[in-house]
Amino acid sequence: MSSDVTSIERRQFDTLIIGAGGGGLRASLQLAEADLSVAVVSKVFPTRSHTVAAQGGMNAALANVSPDNWHWHMFDTVKGSDYLGDQDAIEYMCRAAPKAVYELEHFGVPFSRLDNGKIYQRAFGGQSQNFGGDQASRTCAAADRTGHAILHSLYQQNIRAKTHFFDEYFAVDLIKDDEGHVLGAVIFNIQNGQIMVIEAKTTLLATGGAGQLFKTTTNALINTGDGMGMAMRAGIPLQDMEFFQFHPTGIAGRGMLITEGARGEGGYLVNGDGERLMERYAPKAKDLASRDVVSRAIAVEVREGRGCGPNKDHVLLKLDHLGEAVIQKRLPGIRQTCITFLGIDPAETPIPVFPTAHYTMGGIPTNRFGQVVVPVKDTPEEPVAGLYAAGECACVSVHGGNRLGGNSLLDILVFGRAAANHIIDYLKENKYHRSANEESVNEIVAKIKRYDQPPSSSDTASETVANLRKELKQTMEDHCSVFRNKEILKEGVDKVEQLAERMKNVRIDDQSFTFNTAKVEAFELENLMACALAAIHSAYAREESRGAHSRTDFTERDDKSWMRHSLYSFENGLDYKPVRTKPLSVESFPPKPRVY
Amino acid sequence: MKFKIYRYNPETDAKPYVQEYELDNVEPGTMLLAALLRIKDEQDQTLSFRRSCGEGVCGSDGMNINGFNGLACITSLDSLKQPVEVKPLPGLPVIRDLIIDMDQFYKQYRAVKPYLVVNDPMPEVELTQTPKQRERLDGLYECVLCACCTTSCPSFWWNPDKFLGPAALLQASRFIEDSRDQAFEQRLENLEGPFKLFRCHTIMNCVHVCPKGLNPTKAIGRIKAKMISRSL
């Protein structure tokens, strides 16, 4: 049962990690092995985290299949980001990639293998040799279940390292003191409703993306932008939230992901005329152009009447020419998904696909050490003491305007580890817990208790979570999708503002303290609202087309005015900061027209 | 479409009961999870169950569906007799409604030391493994820890604290079969005795219910064979 504020259980740790996907678990492993006390708080059992659903693989210039080096990978990533990625972070990530993969392999990840016993690498979108030359095979894969293989191995290593897990606890908000230090979080045990205060010298947000913003999505139901919402409420702006990736090949109308690896293994897209459509949009890379490019191509084909099916509302992904053996060996997971959800075997029948909400490029602004950074006076990036973020919830930004396939698993592992290493150093200098801010704690506790009272009959303005969430997802789908313009976005801004206002009237019918998922969904929706506000406002303001943000009224990229990061906060609305164009050791890649 | 769903909230219910729900306009091909989500959204916020990925990868929504354990998100309503009877997975304590306490299941998973053990210094690149060696892990590493198998196993129902159960033993096999692992002997030793492994009586419920099409009984058989050849 819920209790008095004074009797709330308090626990102290060196580090609190919120989220147990790949980023959180990579960090916790590093910290546990450094003999620090770590609490990993996750609203689901760790192996349910969305990393588990990653399919195609993880990029690293191992050169097991084609000649390669990290600098080529860096070029592809900068170009893929449409020059909005921060080049210091990108250089760091691409240099660290091979080591990150070898570490995983040593942790036990069952990577697919080449005949010589080395890790199998497949072709993926936007990957080239020699700065835009031939297609590179850079994506390390465990069949098409790479995320599952990685997440389970990381969890297993954490079992070995005896990491302290708080499974099925929901983190509601960060505790902050008057000097701006983050001191941990208030959480509650989903199983019994008990509120708990976790006091921590450092807190790492690793809560993943916000794909539940959209009606049709490849994302798990748990991807509700929790860390982003927490950051916003702690006064931290969200960065580049207008850049949301639509994966070219979600199952049409349903949303299940069909890995880019399907095209990497030789699959291709055809339109209603039976034409291999990508030859027109990306003559060289064809089906392995960047995701934003392929998604736009599909959307244009459908819009111009060249779609497939009775409603001409999708295109087809053709794999049957690969033969059953290749499909069973390299793509067994998506084969099963097609059989289960569509009743078709891709070894015989093409898959109906359409661009589907997939990945949050934006997020909590950090530097390449994982420190959360905010503008303070004339400094655009001042670290928030004690607070870190890594993975999809963060914006380092290695993905800029468009993430390359295979760079997401890489991001979580490289920056989960980097954040942990910085935390280890930080704790050497900051040995003691700061006293908890009781005012901050009490506010959060009161918020959690808000849903403990049943809705009263005099409550005329009552709203349900389900209705508001449905409206929000439809609004984002209609107003913040692959193509955008001023009118559509303005309407979207107004609608989301109204929805956020109505959020205040949400009531729930379930007052139980035992596994109250209705209460969890209410907090999740609050987090989604924060993300939606940031996304739609940032999209409305950005009058150019870059990466995944395509404006039909501003069709060109405008480097003069817009090669800068958006920042949106509750307090200040929109603000901007420059892109970090200077890499660590090599020459900067200046913006160029982006052709595939 | 009609549903009969197991309900229990320890705060308010002296004992479990069955509640009936009805949904209109259920389209062909709808999965059970989608129906449960609709019931929760449209009719009854208090109906509680776990769920996440919605495509059979995360293993959250294992439940007993018309008498068989399965994942709600990949069980099509087309294939189910009405009314659809939904209960929590059997053999473990119920926390609320369709949500079971999985602690014992996870404890048995941890008991097999499910992590790669390499004692030699690690090379600065990958440990090599031939495609053939890697193939031995197929059918073992794909487990999603949904507990459908273990909670369908009579041997586990009788001895949940002593018999490790099919899911944990599948994991044991996953590491025993890994050419990179250097704890082969200890792993087999760890499974000695009448209960941990040998309580498997090849009833094969685990094989019939596994939503990922895996075969824990076969994996257990492979371990048994290794133990026998080791003792000879």
Q: What is the DSSP string of A226-291?
A: HHHHHHHHTTPPEESTT-EEEEEEEETTT--B--THHHHTT-EEE-TTS-BTHHHH-TTTGGGS-H
Contact across the interface for B116 and A340, Cβ inside 8 Å = no
B119, closest residue in chain A (CA to CA): A106
Tokens for A552?
């039909």
CB A155 within 8 A of CB A170: no
Q: Is the minimum CB–CB distance between A328 and chain B shorter than 8 Å?
A: no
Contact across the interface for B114 and A159, Cβ inside 8 Å = yes
DSSP count for chain B of H helices, then E strands? 8, 7
A90, A144, A368, A457 from A96: Cα distances, Å: 10, 23, 12, 59
Which of B55, B98, B102, B212 should we substitute to test contact with A (largest number of A Cβ atoms within 10 Å)?
B55
Furthest-apart CA pair in chain B: how many Å? 63
CB A83 within 8 A of CB A165: no
User: Cβ contacts of residue A467 below 8 Å, gap of 6+?
Assistant: none
> Which SS3 state, helix, strand or coil, does residue B29 take?
coil
Chain A residues within 8 A of B72 when measuring between CB atoms: none
Q: Which of residues 49-68 of A touch B (CB under 8 A)?
A: 49-50, 52-53
Catalytic-role residue among A291, A403, A484, A542: A291
CB pairs < 8 Å spanning A and B: 156
Chain B residues within 8 A of A102 when measuring between CB atoms: 124-126
CB A210 within 8 A of CB A536: no
What is the reported pLDDT for A187? Answer: 98
Name the CATH code of domain B103-231 (choices 3.40.50.300, 1.10.1060.10, 2.30.30.60, 3.40.50.1980): 1.10.1060.10
Q: Where are the domains of chain B?
A: 2-100, 103-231
Q: Is the minimum CB–CB distance between A576 and chain B shorter than 8 Å?
A: no
Q: Chain-centre distance of CA A343, in angstroms?
A: 30
DSSP count for chain A of H helices, then E strands? 16, 22
Contact across the interface for B126 and A107, Cβ inside 8 Å = no
pLDDT < 70 positions in chain B: none
CA–CA dist B2, B96 (Å, integer): 21
A343, closest residue in chain B (CA to CA): B29
Chain B residues within 8 A of A340 when measuring between CB atoms: 55-56, 74, 76
Distance in Å, alpha carbon of A49 to nearest chain B alpha carbon: 7
- Is A280 labeled as catalytic in the residue annotation? no
Contact across the interface for A340 and B56, Cβ inside 8 Å = yes
Chain A residues within 8 A of B127 when measuring between CB atoms: 105-106
Please list the rounded mean pLDDT of every run of 10 residues in chain A (596 residues): 68 98 98 96 98 97 98 98 98 98 98 98 97 97 98 98 97 96 98 97 98 98 98 98 98 95 97 97 96 97 97 98 96 96 97 98 98 95 98 98 98 98 97 91 95 78 93 98 98 98 94 97 98 98 98 98 98 97 98 95
Q: Is the minimum CB–CB distance between A341 and chain B shorter than 8 Å?
A: yes
Q: Which CATH architecture has domain B2-100?
A: Roll (3.10)
CB A40 within 8 A of CB A46: yes
Query: E strand or H helix at B95, and its extent?
Result: strand B94-96
CA–CA dist A579, A76 (Å, integer): 17
CB A401 within 8 A of CB A12: no
Domains by residue range for chain A, with CATH? 249-356 (3.90.700.10), 455-564 (1.20.58.100)
What is the reported pLDDT for B40? Answer: 98
CB A492 within 8 A of CB A471: no
Q: Chain-centre distance of CA A403, in angstroms?
A: 10
Tokens for A117?
């016993």
CA–CA dist A565, A192 (Å, integer): 42
Contact across the interface for B130 and A106, Cβ inside 8 Å = no
DSSP B77: G
Cα–Cα nearest to A161, from A107, A97, A233: A107
Q: Is the minimum CB–CB distance between A217 and chain B shorter than 8 Å?
A: no
> Which SS3 state, helix, strand or coil, does residue A46 take?
helix
What is the reported pLDDT for A6? Answer: 65
A324, B112, B227 from B196: Cα distances, Å: 39, 10, 13
Phi, psi of B64 (to 5 degrees): -95, 115
A155, closest residue in chain B (CA to CA): B115
CA–CA dist A50, B53 (Å, integer): 7
Distance in Å, alpha carbon of A580 to nearest chain B alpha carbon: 32
Distance in Å, alpha carbon of B125 to nearest chain A alpha carbon: 6
> Which SS3 state, helix, strand or coil, does residue A555 take?
coil
Chain A residues within 8 A of B70 when measuring between CB atoms: none
Q: What is the pTM of this model?
A: 0.97
Contacts 24+ apart (CB under 8 A), B208-211: B208/B68, B208/B152, B209/B68, B209/B69, B209/B70, B209/B148, B209/B149, B209/B152, B210/B148, B210/B149, B211/B56, B211/B62, B211/B70, B211/B71, B211/B74, B211/B144, B211/B146, B211/B148
A221, A417, B57, B72, B196 from B209: Cα distances, Å: 24, 38, 15, 12, 21
Contacts 24+ apart (CB under 8 A), B128-132: B128/A113, B128/A116, B128/A117, B128/A118, B129/A113, B129/A117, B129/B179, B129/B180, B130/A113, B130/A115, B130/A117, B130/B179, B131/A112, B131/A113, B131/A114, B131/A115
- Helix, strand, coil percent content, chain B, rounded in steps of 5: 35, 15, 55
Contact across the interface for A113 and B116, Cβ inside 8 Å = no
CB A363 within 8 A of CB A392: yes
Give the side-chain half-sphere CA count within 13 A for B164. Answer: 26
Give the side-chain half-sphere CA count within 13 A for A471. Answer: 17
Chain A residues within 8 A of B74 when measuring between CB atoms: 340-341
What is the ipTM metric for this complex?
Answer: 0.98
> Which segments of A106-234 are extended strands (E)?
121-128, 135-140, 164-167, 169-176, 182-189, 195-205
Chain B residues within 8 A of A194 when measuring between CB atoms: none
